[in-house]
Amino acid sequence: MSLKWIDSLDIALELLEKHSEVDPRKLHFTELYQWVLALEDFGDDPKHCNEKVLEAIQQCWIEEK
């Protein structure tokens, strides 16, 4: 399955697993963006991302942590 930007929760869960030591509230969006692009299962167009998308991913990550 290829993750898309709209898969906020699934992306957050992958990031939580990969970066469990990180506090997502202290993460810069530029870093979050790069980490999402680096996920093995991620396969969406990097240009389809915006601040609202990153906020949704960050919020899911905070809730899951």
Q: Is the pLDDT confidence value at 1 over 90?
A: no
Structural domain contains residue 2: no
Instruction: Please check whether residue 38 lies inside any domain of the structure.
Output: yes
State the CATH number of the domain containing residue 48: 1.10.10.600
Overall number of domains in the chain: 1
Whole-number pLDDT of residue 8: 98
Give residue 18's pLDDT.
97
Q: Which two tokens stand for residue 57?
A: 């991913």
Distance (Å, rounded) from C-alpha 17 to C-alpha 21? 9
Residue 24 to residues 1, 6, 42, Cα–Cα distance (Å): 24, 18, 19
33 part of a folded domain: yes
Q: What pLDDT is stored for residue 24 in this prediction? A: 97
1 belongs to a structural domain: no
Write the pLDDT tens digit of every residue in 38-62: 999 999 999 999 999 999 999 999 9
Task: Please state the pTM of the whole predicted model.
Answer: 0.95
Residue 25's domain comprises 8-64
Query: Angle between the 8-18 and 51-64 helix axes, to the nearest 10 degrees?
Result: 60
pLDDT tens digits for range 10-21: 999 999 999 999
